[in-house]
Structures are given as structure tokens and as C-alpha cells.
């Protein structure tokens, strides 16, 4: 049979197995799920060493389950020297000692599943730690059996093999004394890139995946997966290079061969969800990774929302039309065979309420709830980052010594200490862009260290606003951001149109109002978000008949027609018909 026929018969079998929505989506559990990302180091410390751990997570499962999420995603908890807080793995089959033991992991997984939730892990296989056994061997000698697990090259004219740069400053190549050759590291020097052209490496990775999948996990978030295929000739940046090195590193010639092989060899044998971190991938290229007929990944984190208001550590102004345009691009660029992951924050980005809302006391609650409604009513699988359900804010950093992030420290060395950037300029920008904002300890209560640890000090400073912003306060306040998230998650679960419904932005150019519809046959919903402090009167479409206010952060039940007056940071969701 030709590929197409084979596909059709496969597709018809798939259709028979999976119901299809009225507007053409194959129904899947991971399209209907809400995911909660946990950064274990900062979530909860159970043994008073100041560092979060697996037993700490296990102690807070009521809190997570009560929110109503379906899946938890753990950032890496594997054995690591923590050059990049676990994104530098030393042993894929061992739990990081600071986080606990494999028994702790097994108990946590069992407890998560016992509560009807699922767990996905972070698959970091573009690179390992330089302490990984494979690299320790590989660097010993050019003829070492592990040499080709990594990407070694001779220098050129006494310099690095090409002009590529690291995400963490400096060249992407490090000269190794033992053999005089250079190895590639797109991130830290302690994060050497694996050689995916080596079939043995790919098989090692697939074995690691099976090890965790056979324990019963429900899938993976895949760290910079678009980077795994490199041009073995390592040409310099192209002549039209615009400084966006992610675009150059991503989508190499064999990327899809390798992801399809990974799917064939491993993923297809389990009922799992996969989400790729698609740094460097344009919207036009996303279907190549997520079209269900290509058997690669289920969805990706596309980085337009990451790059909207910053270039690396430097903040830049953004507009609401610019943010809204991203979601219209998704609606138009991804057909019914594709799906999207929705995120507004994670462990690499500042706190969402400080970034897209207003974290000053008068507006923090309302704007955090508005952002919750945006995340939970747009189209795609929503990923909530730990603490955003409390409206946790950026940290008031004032000097470089307060930062932990290797990306921050390396750039300080490379750009500030070399007088290329003013120290004040750097710190002022980091106060808006640093990854460390998202890594300050979870704020559980008003006790010392926000109840995160009984140690004298946490591994990273606790935000001083923890007495006002913490989980105990939120759980006891029916109007808290946490409870608003909870209501929205419940509403989303009960409303297929909010999951699968078509998306239309009704006013893309409005400077402060985000107004869109989600419709699935006769079920029609209107979302109104006022991204400003100012009360704003908004004219509704003439043929729109409001039926019922379903949820709002600031408004009582009403049935506006023609005009609606939106309070500052008001977020309201209506059912309508027309």
C-alpha cells in the first residue's frame, strides 16, 4: 500500500478508537488535561537542608490535587552536580541525592497515581553533565569507545571549530586538554551536547525513556529537543544570521528522523503525552513536530511568548496586540491535526503576574486572576507553573550576589566584568527578566522561610512578601487567586468548547482589551480581559446575545447588551448565543 492509503487505514482505525469533536479534533486525555509544573528544588523541603525534595512534594499532594490539575510535570530530579540545577544530568537512572532516593520517587509516583493524577518527567537528552560516565570516558582519548557519544572537533586556525555561542555566554566550544580537541556545549561547559548521529547514543536514550516509562510515568517534557540534530560539518553562523542562535541550532536535517524513530521505538508503545520545548522553532515549523499524522510529539512550547518582552536578559516593551497576535497565529497555523501547549511562565521566566499583570498591591489579585482566565480559556493544554496559583511575584533583587542562575553569573563575567555592560543596567534588566524570579521557594505559610524549610536558610532567598502571599492564606480565602484557578479548572473540565472550541480574537488591535470567543457548535463563550488599571467601556458585537456570566474576578451576575463597562484588570467569561 502507498504511504497515503496506509495512513488512511491507520487514521480510520485511530478515528474508530478516538472520538472526533464536531470541529474535527481527535479527542485525547492530554488535550483535556491541565498540567502543573513543579521545580522540585523550590517546592517543599522535608528534611531541613534548605533544598526542596521528593518527600516534600509528596507532603503537598492534597494542595495540588485540590487545585484540580490532572498532570504534574517534575523538572529534572535525576542525579546531577547542579551546574544548571539538574538540567545537567550525571546519571539518568538515579535520583539526585538532595531530592531523595528512588524509593522516594516510587512512593511519590504511586501517591500521585492513587489520587487519579498523572506524572510526566523532564527528558534532557540534548546534553548531559560533564560528570556523566559517558563524558568522563569520552574525554579520555580520541579512540575511547565513548568518544563519539559527544561532538568533538579539531580547532580551526588555533581557534574554536566555528563561531557558535553558548546560551550561557562565550563560545559553544570548549578545548579539552587531554586530547587538545574541542567539544560542543550549547549551554554550560558542564553540559556537553550528545551526538545524536551516533545510533548507540539514541539507543541509550531510548533505554533511559523505557526505564522511567516502565515505572508508570505518563510522558515527557523534552528539553530543547529541536537542537538534537547538528550539521556534522559545523559551518559558521549563516551570512544572514540575525543574532537568534536558537534558530540556527534548531531543526537540523535529521531532527524529524530522530523524533520519529524515538516515537516508533518507544513512545508509540505507551499511552503517554509528550511536549517539546521548541526554542528556535518558528510557528510554521511546529506542525512538523506535532501533526498527529507524523507520529512525532503531541505538542510543543513555542517561544514567541518567551521572546515577546525580552532578548536574553534585556527587557523590551511589549504590547497587548503583540501578545494577542501569538494566539491568532496558533489558530491559523495549527490545523485540527495539531495541538498546542499553553504557558505564560515556567522555571526559565519571570513570575507571570509581574510580567504580564500588575504586581502592585491594588492590582495583583485581579491581574493574577485575569492571567489565570487567559491561560485556562485559550486553546491548548494549559501548563500552570508552581506558585502562579498564589500570585507569587518577582523577587526584589538588588545585587549580583543574590542570583543563583548560571546564565546570570556567566553573563556577569562575560559582559559586565569586561565593561561591555553597566552593572546597574544589567541588574535593572534582571529585575524583570531573570529565571531566578521563578525559582524562589514556594510560599506555604507565614512562618519562617514561608514554611518552605525548617532550615535557617533556604537555598535561594524567600520573597519577603510571603506573609501576605502564601498557600494557607489562599486556601482560607474563597476569593483567593488559588480558588479562582480552581473554579476555572473545574469550569474548563465541564466545558468542551473551552478545550476544543474554535478561537476568534474579536478585536486584535485593541490596545488594552483582550476579547475572544471559543465556540463548539451551539456552545459559545466570550472572554473579556482588561489588561489595564483603567475602567473601560467596551462595545459588544451587535448580534451577540449574552446568556449568562459564568465566572468573573470583579463582576456580579449581569446580562450586558451592546456596551459593557470593564473595571481595571477585570476578567469575565460569559456564555452567549447569536
Torsions phi, psi of 271, nearest 5?
-90, 85
What is the rounded distance in angstroms from the CA atom of residue 384 to the CA atom of residue 370?
Answer: 14
Residue nearest ligand TEU by beta-carbon distance: 87
| Angle of the 361-377 helix axis to the 481-494 helix axis, nearest 10 | 20
Site for ligand TEU contains 348 (CB under 6 A): yes
**Under the criterion CB under 6 A, does residue 173 sit at the interface with ligand TEU?**
no
Q: Could you give the CA distance from residue 351 to residue 359 in angstroms, rounded to a whole number?
A: 9
Question: Which residue from 53, 189, 223, 359 is in contact with ligand TEU, where contact means CB under 6 A?
Answer: 223
Three-state secondary structure call for residue 524: strand
Instruction: Report the residue number, 441 or 501, with the smaller CB distance to Ca ion.
Output: 441
Q: Is 494 exposed, middle or buried (0-12, 13-18, 19+ CB in 10 A)?
A: exposed
CA dist 92 and 205 (Å) reads 9
From the list 51, 96, 117, 228, which residue makes contact with Ca ion (rule: CB under 5 A)? Answer: 51
Q: Is the dihedral of CA 345, 349, 355, 361 positive or negative?
A: positive
Q: Which of residues 169 and 463 has its CB atom nearest to ligand TEU in the complex?
A: 169
Contacts of 16 (CB under 8 A, 6+ apart): none
How many CA atoms within 13 Å lie on the side-chain side of 143? 0
49 binds, among ligand TEU, Ca ion, none (CB under 5 to 8 A by kind): Ca ion
Q: Whose Cβ is closer to ligand TEU: residue 37's or residue 179's?
A: 37
Active site residues: 223, 277
The angle subtended at Cα 478 by Cα 568 and Cα 63, nearest 5°, is 115
Strand, coil or helix: 7 = helix
Q: In the complex with ligand TEU, which residue's Cβ is closer, 147 or 437?
A: 437
Q: Which of these segments, 11-19, 39-47, 216-224, 316-324, binds Ca ion (CB under 5 A)?
A: 39-47
Considering only 407, 463, 470, 519, the residue that binds ligand TEU (CB under 6 A) is 407
Q: Which residues pair with 181 in a beta bridge?
A: none
- Residue 218: name its binding partner from ligand TEU, Ca ion, none (Cβ under 5 to 8 Å by kind): none
What distance in Å separates the CA atoms of residue 138 and residue 442, rounded to the nearest whole number?
A: 39
Indicate whether 104 belongs to the interface with Ca ion (CB under 5 A): no
Give the chain's end-to-end CA distance (angstroms, integer): 47
- Which among ligand TEU, Ca ion, none contacts residue 51 (Cβ within 5 to 8 A by kind)? Ca ion
Interface region with Ca ion, contact rule CB under 5 A, candidates 43-51, 62-70, 190-198, 377-385: 43-51
Residue 189, contacted partner among ligand TEU, Ca ion, none, CB below 5-8 A by kind:
none
Q: What is d(CA 391, CA 385) in angstroms, rounded to the nearest whole number?
A: 11
Q: Binder to Ca ion among 53, 84, 285, 388 (CB under 5 A)?
A: 53
Residue number with CB closer to Ca ion (57 or 112)? 57
Q: Which position among 146, 152, 187, 459 is part of the footprint of ligand TEU (CB under 6 A)?
A: 187
Considering the complex, what minimum distance in angstroms separates the CB of residue 110 from ligand TEU? 27
360 vs 367: CA distance, rounded Å: 10
**Residue of 30, 37, 44, 45 interacting with Ca ion (CB under 5 A):** 45
Task: Out of 124, 299, 344, 376, name the contact with ligand TEU by CB under 6 A.
Answer: 124
The entry of ligand TEU, Ca ion, none that residue 407 binds, CB within 5 to 8 Å by partner kind: ligand TEU
The rounded distance, in Å, linking the Cα atoms of 314 and 318 is 13
Q: Identify the helix (H) or strand (E) that includes residue 199.
A: helix 199-213
413/490 with CB nearer ligand TEU: 413
Site for ligand TEU in 266-285 (CB under 6 A): 277, 279
Instruction: Determine contact, residues 373/365, Cβ cutoff 8 Å.
Output: no
Q: Considering beta carbons, is residue 149 or 538 the nearer one to ligand TEU?
A: 149
322 Cβ contact partners less than 8 Å away, ≥ 6 residues apart = 308
- Beta carbon nearer to Ca ion, 49 or 445: 49
456 dihedral zone (left: phi>0; alpha: psi -120 to 50; beta): alpha
Provide the minimum distance between the beta carbon of 8 and ligand TEU in the complex, in angstroms, as a whole number. Answer: 38
Measured from the CB atom, is 41 or 369 closer to Ca ion?
Answer: 41
Stretch that binds Ca ion, among 44-52, 298-306, 404-412, 467-475 (CB under 5 A): 44-52
- Minimum distance from CB of 451 to Ca ion (Å)? 14
198 is an interface residue for Ca ion by CB under 5 A: no
- DSSP E strand boundaries for 127-197: 152-153, 173-175, 182-184
Using CB under 6 A as the binding rule, whether residue 87 contacts ligand TEU is answered as yes
Distance (Å, rounded) from C-alpha 134 to C-alpha 91? 10
Q: Which of 450, 478, 322 has the alpha carbon at shortest distance from 386? A: 450
Closest alpha carbon to 97 in 117, 77, 111: 77
Size of the site for ligand TEU (CB under 6 A): 13
Q: Does 47 contact Ca ion by CB under 5 A?
A: yes
Three-class secondary structure of residue 566 per DSSP: strand
The yes or no reply on residue 30 touching ligand TEU (CB under 6 A) is no
355, 435, 439, 555: which one contacts ligand TEU (CB under 6 A)?
A: 435
Residues of this chain that interact with Ca ion (CB under 5 A) are 45, 47, 49, 51, 53
Residues lying near ligand TEU in the complex (CB under 6 A) are found at 84, 87, 124, 167, 187, 223-224, 277, 279, 347-348, 407, 435
Amino acid at each position: 500500500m502507498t504511504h497515503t492509503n496506509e495512513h488512511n487505514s491507520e487514521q480510520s482505525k485511530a478515528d474508530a478508537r478516538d472520538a472526533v469533536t464536531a470541529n474535527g479534533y481527535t479527542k485525547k486525555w492530554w488535550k483535556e488535561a491541565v498540567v502543573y509544573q513543579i521545580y522540585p528544588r523550590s517546592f517543599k523541603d522535608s528534611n531541613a537542608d534548605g533544598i526542596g525534595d521528593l518527600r516534600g512534594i509528596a507532603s503537598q499532594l492534597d494542595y495540588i490535587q485540590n487545585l484540580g490539575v490532572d498532570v504534574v510535570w517534575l523538572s529534572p530530579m535525576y542525579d546531577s552536580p547542579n551546574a544548571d540545577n539538574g538540567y545537567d544530568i550525571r546519571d539518568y537512572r538515579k535520583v539526585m541525592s538532595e531530592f531523595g532516593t528512588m524509593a522516594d520517587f516510587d512512593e511519590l509516583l504511586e501517591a500521585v497515581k492513587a489520587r487519579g493524577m498523572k506524572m510526566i518527567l523532564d527528558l534532557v537528552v540534548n546534553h548531559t553533565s560533564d560528570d556523566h560516565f559517558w563524558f568522563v570516558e569520552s574525554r579520555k582519548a580520541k579512540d575511547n569507545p565513548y568518544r563519539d557519544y559527544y561532538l568533538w572537533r579539531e580547532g580551526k586556525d588555533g581557534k574554536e571549530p566555528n563561531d557558535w555561542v553558548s546560551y550561557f555566554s562565550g563560545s559553544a566550544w570548549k578545548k579539552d586538554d587531554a586530547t587538545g580537541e574541542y567539544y560542543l556545549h550549547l549551554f554550560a561547559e558542564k553540559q556537553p551536547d550528545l551526538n545524536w548521529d551516533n545510533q548507540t547514543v539514541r539507543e541509550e536514550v531510548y533505554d533511559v525513556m523505557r526505564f522511567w516509562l516502565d515505572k508508570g510515568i505518563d510522558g515527557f517534557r523534552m528539553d530543547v529537543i529541536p537542537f538534537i540534530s547538528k550539521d556534522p560539518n559545523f559551518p559558521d553562523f549563516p551570512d544572514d544570521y540575525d543574532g537568534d542562535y536558537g534558530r540556527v541550532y534548531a531543526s537540523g536535517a535529521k531532527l524529524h528522523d530522530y523524533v520519529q524513530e524515538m516515537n516508533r521505538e518507544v513512545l508509540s508503545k505507551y499511552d503517554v503525552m509528550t511536549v517539546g520545548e521548541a526554542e528556535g522553532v518558528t510557528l510554521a515549523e511546529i506542525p512538523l513536530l506535532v501533526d498527529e499524522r507524523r507520529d512525532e510529539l503531541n505538542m510543543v512550547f513555542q517561544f514567541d511568548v518567551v521572546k515577546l518582552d525580552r532578548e536574553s536578559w534585556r527587557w523590551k516593551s511589549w504590547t497587548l496586540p503583540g501578545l494577542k497576535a501569538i494566539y491568532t497565529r496558533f489558530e491559523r497555523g495549527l490545523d485540527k491535526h495539531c495541538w498546542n501547549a499553553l504557558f505564560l511562565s515556567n522555571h526559565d521566566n519571570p513570575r507571570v503576574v509581574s510580567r504580564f499583570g500588575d504586581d502592585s498591591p491594588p492590582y495583583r489579585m485581579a491581574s493574577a486572576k485575569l492571567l489565570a482566565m487567559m491561560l485556562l480559556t485559550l486553546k491548548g493544554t494549559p501548563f500552570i507553573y508552581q506558585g502562579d496559583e498564589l500570585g507569587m511575584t518577582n523577587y526584589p533583587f538588588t545585587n549580583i550576589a543574590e542570583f543563583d542562575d548560571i546564565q546570570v553569573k556567566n553573563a556577569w563575567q562575560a559582559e559586565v566584568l569586561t565593561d561591555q555592560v553597566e552593572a546597574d543596567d544589567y541588574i535593572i534588566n534582571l529585575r524583570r527578566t531573570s529565571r531566578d524570579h521563578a525559582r524562589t521557594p514556594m510560599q506555604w505559610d507565614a512562618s519562617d522561610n514561608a514554611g518552605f524549610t525548617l532550615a535557617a536558610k533556604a537555598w535561594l532567598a524567600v520573597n519577603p512578601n510571603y506573609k501576605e502571599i502564601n498557600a494557607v492564606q489562599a486556601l482560607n480565602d474563597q476569593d483567593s487567586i488559588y480558588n479562582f484557578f480552581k473554579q476555572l479548572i473545574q469550569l474548563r473540565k465541564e466545558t468542551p468548547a473551552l478545550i476544543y472550541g474554535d478561537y476568534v480574537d474579536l478585536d486584535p488591535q485593541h490596545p488594552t482589551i483582550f476579547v475572544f470567543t471559543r465556540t463548539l457548535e451551539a456552545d459559545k463563550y466570550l472572554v473579556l480581559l482588561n489588561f489595564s488599571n483603567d475602567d473601560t467601556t467596551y462595545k459588544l458585537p451587535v448580534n451577540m446575545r449574552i446568556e449568562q456570566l459564568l465566572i468573573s474576578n470583579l463582576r456580579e451576575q449581569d446580562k450586558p447588551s451592546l456596551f459593557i463597562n470593564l473595571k481595571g484588570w477585570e476578567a469575565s467569561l460569559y456564555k452567549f448565543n447569536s
